[in-house]
Amino acid sequence: MVHFRSAPELAELLGSWSTGQGPLYRKLADALARAVDEGALRTGERLPSERELAGVLATSRATVVGAYEELRSRQLLERRQGSGTRVAARTPTPRADGRVAGGRGTAIFQRLIDGPGPLISLACATEGGAPEVADTLNDVTRYDMTELLADPGYHPRGLPELREAIATYYTQQGLPTCPDEILVTTGAHQALVVVAEVYLRAPSRVVVEAPSWPACLDIFRAADAELVPVGLDDEGIQVPGLAAALAEGAPALLYVMPSHHNPTGILMSPARRRRVAELAAKHGVAILEDNAYTGISYTDEDEPPAPLAAYAPSGAETLTVESLGKAVWGGLRIGWLRGPAEIIERCARRKAFADLGTPIIDQALAARLIPRLGELAARRSAAQRERLEVLERLLKDQLPTWQWRRPDGGASLWVSLPDANADVFAQLALRHGVEVIPGSAMDPTGQHDNCIRVPFTFTPDVLSELVHRLSRAWNELQRHGPSDCDPLRPII
């Protein structure tokens, strides 16, 4: 069957194609050629019409005509009478994967691989490490090394003292936990991968929030799962939609982000946690709660709600994922999974298969940091709250028609753009030096295409420059509609 690549899908694949020097049509041709070389575009695949692609890339039609023409002369594309432009025969065919409209982490992963470059990139909502990491590392090397070096160093379940520290951390939050219920992973990301491997056998279904965290949606898709999206309200995943999704087709997992949802920053209320846990238990569906942003909070409540697992009726299967990534440092790559001991045992076998265990020195460091996690998260929350306020002020001032709900926690604003397509806006923003992730890339239905995620993990100077660039791109969209403009000059 011939696969048709829609214009928004192709735009996502092309990433930050319009940066750098040279005419736009040449940069577009180079980006398309790269996609063909790497097998991301397959032999025989049909590309969108010049008009459609120009609309989504916010260029003139002549730019796309020029790029397609150039690639025809390089024999990478061919035009067949009556069936449009296709990738010419020469590349091997990777497996088909065109079922889902949006919610893909392509641009986010690519930005991690490429590094920031000259752009202000909104692909990642993270900042550098807490200074306590350096002090603690000194302590580990000074006091713990003799003992650590006496150990063979292979602990697929995790260093015992770290599992103990994590179990205590949950018990203190009202969720009694023993070390057998903890698996240490290389970041929350690996915990999600391991759970997907254990729970998903094609054809399985996973109920997810819409919007959601696209990297995790990619993990589920890689296991050939069908995604069943459910919307959110101010208290978290919506109950009627969830009840319907759980009742249909025996899903294998429900994936939610109670504390706090990425990208909206919503904190799931205690009442909603209880209701979600009851519904999942009633339908026998395991819950995977991803609390990567727990602790990064802007509400004034003293006691944040305990993990959703604490609200689950007995016998319910709840898996809790968390990490040091947001409150301490992503570079540590320390995350974990909490769940029933027999599930943790199965997950430990997958973890052993993947890497035989997370590096021990990082785990020893984490074991010293976990008892201070509340204090570290509070400090980071205070710093990020100031940045949130700076960003809100700048946006209200320079982009007064943009709208958002103040996040309860997390690292981003989820902004709706009035009467605009965020995919097109993202193309214009790129040419003003900002990599924007459009909402459609975070929603498995491809909806929320009028939204963008704006992280506030930058310094006030960068936030100011960011909003200045965004408002230039916005004014251009408002004044003229999309048009070709000068190549980007590197700025930061």
Question: Under the criterion CB under 6 A, does residue 158 sit at the interface with ligand PLP?
Answer: no
Question: Under the criterion CB under 6 A, does residue 294 sit at the interface with ligand PLP?
Answer: no
Q: Are 123 and 12 in contact (CB under 8 A)?
A: no
Question: Under the criterion CB under 6 A, does residue 370 sit at the interface with ligand PLP?
Answer: no
Least distance CB 312 / ligand PLP (angstroms): 20
For residues 446-475, which are near ligand PLP according to CB under 6 A? none
- Residues whose CB is less than 8 angstroms from the CB of residue 72 and which lie 6 or more positions away in sequence, other chains included: 78, 79
Question: Under the criterion CB under 6 A, does residue 325 sit at the interface with ligand PLP?
Answer: yes
Tokens of 372: 């201070």
Distance of alpha carbon 335 from alpha carbon 188, whole angstroms: 5
Residue of 211, 214, 241, 335 that binds ligand PLP (CB under 6 A): 335
Site string for ligand PLP, 14-33 (x = CB under 6 A): --------------------
Question: Under the criterion CB under 6 A, does residue 59 sit at the interface with ligand PLP?
Answer: no
Question: Under the criterion CB under 6 A, does residue 121 sit at the interface with ligand PLP?
Answer: no
Closer by beta carbon to ligand PLP, 70 or else 290? 290
Least distance CB 349 / ligand PLP (angstroms): 20
Question: Under the criterion CB under 6 A, does residue 257 sit at the interface with ligand PLP?
Answer: yes
Round the CA-based radius of gyration of the chain to a whole number and report it: 23
Pairing of strands 232-233, 236-237: antiparallel
Least distance CB 323 / ligand PLP (angstroms): 3
Tokens of 30: 């180079």
List, as one string, the DSSP characters of 387-444.
HHHHHHHHHHHH-TT-EEPPPSBSSEEEEEPTT--HHHHHHHHHHTTEE--BGGGG-T
Instruction: Give me the residues paired with residue 282 across strands.
Output: none
Nearest residue by C-beta to ligand PLP?
Answer: 187
Least distance CB 75 / ligand PLP (angstroms): 41
Instruction: Give me the residues paired with residue 246 across strands.
Output: none
Site string for ligand PLP, 164-193 (x = CB under 6 A): -----------------------xxx----
Handedness of CA 199, 204, 209, 210 (dihedral sign): positive
Distance of alpha carbon 101 from alpha carbon 448, whole angstroms: 12
Distance of alpha carbon 436 from alpha carbon 440, whole angstroms: 11
Residue of 290, 408, 449, 465 that binds ligand PLP (CB under 6 A): 290
Q: Are 236 and 242 in contact (CB under 8 A)?
A: no
Closer by beta carbon to ligand PLP, 91 or else 262? 262
Burial class, 407, CB count within 10 angstroms (exposed 0-12 / middle 13-18 / buried 19+): buried
Least distance CB 371 / ligand PLP (angstroms): 19
Least distance CB 187 / ligand PLP (angstroms): 3
Question: Under the criterion CB under 6 A, does residue 214 sit at the interface with ligand PLP?
Answer: no
Closer by beta carbon to ligand PLP, 293 or else 311? 293
Residue of 91, 204, 262, 358 that binds ligand PLP (CB under 6 A): 262
Closer by beta carbon to ligand PLP, 17 or else 213? 213
Closer by beta carbon to ligand PLP, 199 or else 474? 199
Pairing of strands 286-290, 253-256: parallel
Question: Under the criterion CB under 6 A, does residue 318 sit at the interface with ligand PLP?
Answer: no
Question: Under the criterion CB under 6 A, does residue 439 sit at the interface with ligand PLP?
Answer: no
Closer by beta carbon to ligand PLP, 140 or else 292? 292
Question: Under the criterion CB under 6 A, does residue 105 sit at the interface with ligand PLP?
Answer: no
Burial class, 166, CB count within 10 angstroms (exposed 0-12 / middle 13-18 / buried 19+): buried
Question: Under the criterion CB under 6 A, does residue 387 sit at the interface with ligand PLP?
Answer: no
Residue of 8, 330, 433, 439 that binds ligand PLP (CB under 6 A): 330
Closer by beta carbon to ligand PLP, 105 or else 156? 105
Pairing of strands 205-209, 232-233: unpaired
Question: Under the criterion CB under 6 A, does residue 260 sit at the interface with ligand PLP?
Answer: no
Closer by beta carbon to ligand PLP, 262 or else 447? 262
The residue assigned the tokens 């727990």 is 294
Question: Under the criterion CB under 6 A, does residue 213 sit at the interface with ligand PLP?
Answer: yes
Distance of alpha carbon 200 from alpha carbon 252, whole angstroms: 7
The angle subtended at Cα 75 by Cα 69 and Cα 80, nearest 5°, is: 70
Distance of alpha carbon 29 from alpha carbon 31, whole angstroms: 6
Distance of alpha carbon 308 from alpha carbon 276, whole angstroms: 8
Closer by beta carbon to ligand PLP, 222 or else 250? 222
Question: Under the criterion CB under 6 A, does residue 323 sit at the interface with ligand PLP?
Answer: yes
- Residues whose CB is less than 8 angstroms from the CB of residue 478 and which lie 6 or more positions away in sequence, other chains included: none
Give the interface with ligand PLP as residue ranges (CB under 6 A): 187-189, 213, 257, 262, 290, 292, 323, 325, 330, 335
